[in-house]
A and B are shown apart, each in its own frame.
Chain A
Amino acid sequence: MSNEPVMHADTSVSVPVEVQHHEEHVHHEHHQSFITKYVFSQDHKMIARQFLITGMIWAVIGGLMSVLFRLQIGYPEESFPFLQNLLGKWWFENGHLTAQAYYALVTTHGTVLVFFVLTAGLSGTFANLLIPLQVGARDMASPFLNMLSYWFFFLASVIMFSSIFVSTGPFSGGWTAYPPLSALHDASPGSQHGMDLWLIAMATFVVSSLLGGLNYIVTILNMRTKGMSMTRLPLTIWALFFTAVLGVLSFPVLLSGLILLIFDRNFGTSFYLSDIYVASTNTALPNEGGNAILFQHLFWFLGHPEVYIILLPALGMVSEIISTNARKPIFGYMAMVASLFAIAILSFLVWAHHMFVSGLNPFLGSIFVLLTLLIAVPSAIKVFNWLTTLWRGNIRFTPAMLFAIGFVSLFISGGLTGIWLGNSALDIHLHDTYFVVAHFHIVMGVASMFGMFAGIYHWFPKMFGRYLNNTLGYIHFWITIAGAYMIFWPMHYEGLAGMPRRYYDYSSWTSFNQFGGLNRIISTVAMVVFFIQILFLINFFYSIFKGRKLTTPNPWGSNTLEWTTPIDTGHGNWPGEIPEVHRWAYDYGKDGREFVPQNEPVGHDETSH
């Protein structure tokens, strides 16, 4: 686990091989119209901004949905006539959220947050922004496919959004879309046209994700600048690399599952259907011999890697931000890479832990227990390495650093409850209760959101040439982390009481109605936290135009290559040659120097380690 060979790498003078390329680029720059620069742009930085802003719009929509259904859980007695006036009778009746609207909101909230915000919004944004800049490339391997990736995402967004306005409502069977509920038009109004649109949107989304992912992998493997060996890559790039590999290998499996579902829904096949009697129409369906559990296998074969597709970019960015702002090298770089690799591999081997109570063969279940709990080991390595990176550092609390530290805190809290749920004998009690809701919201939802915020605060100057307002950033962070814990911590107790998730109303249950007061508190805090995010949005959009201007290209004193580009980075990233890399990305505090950029040659008298 030494970087020694890396440090002694060749320091010969670079040859200006990129000159010709550069001239092309200048030529290109002159012919940009509004459309090619801002709309159908092939510049990875613009595509990153498009992903980010689209993701943010979805985050607001998805967040607003959670506020609406939390109103129902927290205030089931209260009536909201103004919301009825606003949204109409399908959603609110007599001032109360209807059950169909509640389930539609829960489902869309889940789908949107998991796929559109935390997959496209997070890895779409930062893979696009950081991969070419940090590996030292002028753009992605295929800028055109990269542009298509965004526009397929945009198309998926439009289709998903339009499903909200269908007369039978959007899909309402949960974001996991288990058949037969999702396969039978008559099982639920949400399983009618809303589900068709949901499926088309998801299929389009998979296309977008594959186009992006292939590009990321090729760019990282083939377009690193001179001297940028794999072991000199910043951890962000390693994380984004594994993320892309996971996506490319697992999204097609989801697509296959969705296609079979489309067939079952519309063309009379029986992949997932057997022995079904639909009471609402008094008909026994002809389908026999299918297996509903098959879909769960296909879904979770994506679904579990998906959790890490969401999480890994955050892990990478947090490593980078913590190291930069602790002014210390990341502790155990090779262990960090190895643990990312281990997590990526294991993420393919644990999918059935979502299915412990589906009637799965108990022996198979036990294998998945073992593999699931194994993930705790690389996760523990990461946590302890971050802690050691902070230890004896000289920590600057930029808003990005605060969110990175908050991420570590949430990752610990949510990761530890994963040890409960991954153990099938405990899952048999906790499965599908609020304990699960608390677990995955903390470790996947809020933690990745924190990773995303950390990334936005850290790279905003690179993206827009201006700073975000720090004070607003601090307010944003402290209220959000306190609020996130206040929302999700108590939910563990609800889960320990067996309170099931996805219930519209608990009032008729003697086992679960003792939490009425708690639900009210959680809903209230959720609303406050939501409004604080609006504050962040104001900060974001205000600062794009009116923020304090950047005066130095390297505001954080960072080592990585993106900060060697000019403040106003054009298409092609570096006006002259692409810098050559002579060292790894984490020479912070070496030999008494604050930081040593990657493109600085190794000095003759420089100590090696």
Chain B
Amino acid sequence: MSMFFIIAVIVLIFMIIFQIAKASEYVSVIKGEEKAKKEQNKINGFFMIAFLIAGLIGIYLCNKALYPKTLLIHDSASVQGEKVDSMLRVTLVITGIVFLITQIALFWFGFKYQQTDKRKAYYYLHNNSLELIWTAVPAIAMTVLVVIGLRNWYSFTGAAPKNAMQIEVVGKQFGWIFRYSGNDKIFGKKYYKLIDDAGNNTLGQDWKDQANLDDVVVQGTMYLVKDKPVNLIIGSRDVIHDVGLPQFRLKMDAVPGTPTSLWFTPKYTTKEMKEITGNPDFQYELSCDQMCGNGHYSMRGIIVVVTQAEYDVWLAQQKPNYYAVFPDKDPSNQKPQLADTTKTTAAISALPSKKM
């Protein structure tokens, strides 16, 4: 019912506007077209300057309301992100100046040079020095931005530091799987045809490779260490996903068949970020940023940044995936007095993934 009401109102408004517009056309015919055109020109000339002023005020208000909601009010949570932020600011200043000059000129000229009988348009064809200036100045500004940008780009995409911890990140429809290499620091071989979701082998680990036996596989939540560089080895099981890390200001696609990598250094633990943002519910989120199907929007991962000590405790509690696939090989299953503790830790580590 309300729907019909809304439609009726819209149709009515349309009819009114249309009738007014039609009437104004008749009036202009009666008044004489020239006179009517002059009036219309004046009104639109006024709107030019009004739009400029209203627009600038609007931009100010918009910024005031929305800037605090962006990430930029707080420090970036990664060392690399600081460079992104400073680059954002430099780019904002340069493009902002150009924006103001050109928009003000555009609408001001519109207002100032609206048609009058007094003025004749100035027959002005070209001016080489002027054109040279506005070719050269943007070119120089672009060079500056390219230099800053590429310096950062190479530092982001260069090789990860040797002491970086390695984590494998694998996207699937619709969730994230993380693998830690365990004590031997080597990721065991995997082959996608060995993937067996029901049998807990979600990555297709090849058990003939001894390096796999201590690899830890977790779903949904990734643990990182504060101030320690981390290199993510990124892959996908099915379609293209993207590891989006807004708080760290980075992202990298996850492509099936073509591994990619991304490294960065987290600066703040999750706990510290809760204080910095003043948000007790703060969590680092890992968002999928590449359209990957109907569940794309729900492909949420959690990143927990902790201190090295906390991380060591956490990792020690994780069971290698080998034991999830072959429970009978699990030493804790053979020693009943230890079974209780592992069960509870397993339950704890499973908690965050339940939120998925």
Contacts and interface: CB of A to CB of B under 8 A. Distances in A.
B337 interface: no
Interface residues of B, number: 128
B84 A426 contact: yes
Nearest to A172: B294
Contacts of B234: 359
B314 interface: no
B21 A518 contact: no
Contacts of A332: 125-127, 131
A531 B10 contact: yes
Contact of A293 (B21, B204, B255): B255
Contacts of B3: 82
Contact of B256 (A292, A429, A433): A292
B30 interface: no
Contact of B238 (A2, A279, A482): A279
A374 interface: yes
Contacts of A478: 47, 51
B252 A412 contact: no
A26 interface: no
B125 A178 contact: no
A512 B244 CA distance: 13
A370 B258 contact: no
Interface stretch (B137-145, B325-333, B339-347): B137-145
Contacts of B260: 358-359
B121 A511 contact: no
A472 B296 CA distance: 42
B40 interface: yes
A326 interface: yes
Nearest to A1: B126
Contacts of A499: 246
Contacts of B28: 470
Contacts of A485: 55, 58
A426 B285 contact: no
B308 to A, nearest CB: 26
Residue among A277, A409, A515 with the highest chain B CB neighbour number at 10 A:
A277
Interface stretch (A29-37, A197-205, A379-387): A379-387
Interface string B51-79: 10011001100100011011110000000
Interface in B109-167: 109-110, 113-116, 119-128, 130-131, 134-135, 137-139, 142, 145-146, 148-150, 152-154, 156-158
A151 interface: no
Interface stretch (B96-104, B180-188, B208-216): B96-104
A184 B124 contact: no
A181 B293 contact: yes
Residue of B87, B99, B253 with most partner-chain A CB within 10 A: B253
B45 interface: yes
Nearest to A326: B121
Contact of A331 (B103, B124, B195): B124
B172 A279 contact: yes
A412 B102 contact: yes
B297 A503 contact: yes
Nearest to B28: A470
A96 interface: no
B255 A393 contact: no
Contacts of A535: 14, 17-18
Given A181-B293, A500-B289, A366 B153 contact: yes
Interface stretch (A154-162, A248-256, A415-423, A451-459): A415-423
A187 to B, nearest CB: 5
Contacts of B134: 380-381, 384
A465 B252 CA distance: 55
B81 A420 contact: no
Given A397-B45, A429-B249, A498 B237 contact: no
A67 to B, nearest CB: 13
A226 interface: no
Most buried by B among A332, A512, A518, A592: A332
B283 interface: yes
B91 interface: yes
B237 A279 contact: yes
Given A184-B238, A278-B238, A509-B300, A482 B51 contact: yes
A515 B71 CA distance: 13
B22 interface: yes
A588 B120 CA distance: 10
Interface in B1-51: 3, 10, 14, 17-18, 20-22, 24-25, 28-29, 37, 40-41, 43-45, 47-48, 51
Across the A-B interface, the 7 shortest Cβ-Cβ residue pairs: A498-B246, A274-B257, A359-B260, A362-B157, A397-B44, A425-B152, A471-B21
19 contacts: A181-B240, A273-B257, A275-B192, A277-B195, A292-B255, A358-B260, A369-B150, A383-B102, A416-B99, A424-B153, A425-B148, A426-B84, A469-B22, A496-B71, A498-B247, A508-B298, A509-B300, A548-B25, A609-B125
Interface of B: 3, 10, 14, 17-18, 20-22, 24-25, 28-29, 37, 40-41, 43-45, 47-48, 51, 54-55, 58-59, 62, 66-67, 69-72, 81, 83-84, 87-88, 91, 94-95, 98-99, 102-103, 105-107, 109-110, 113-116, 119-128, 130-131, 134-135, 137-139, 142, 145-146, 148-150, 152-154, 156-158, 172-173, 192-193, 195, 197-198, 204, 234, 237-240, 242, 244, 246-247, 249-253, 255-260, 279, 281-283, 285, 287-298, 300
Given A292-B257, A380-B134, A395-B41, 8 more contacts: A332-B127, A381-B135, A392-B124, A394-B113, A408-B106, A413-B99, A515-B69, A589-B123
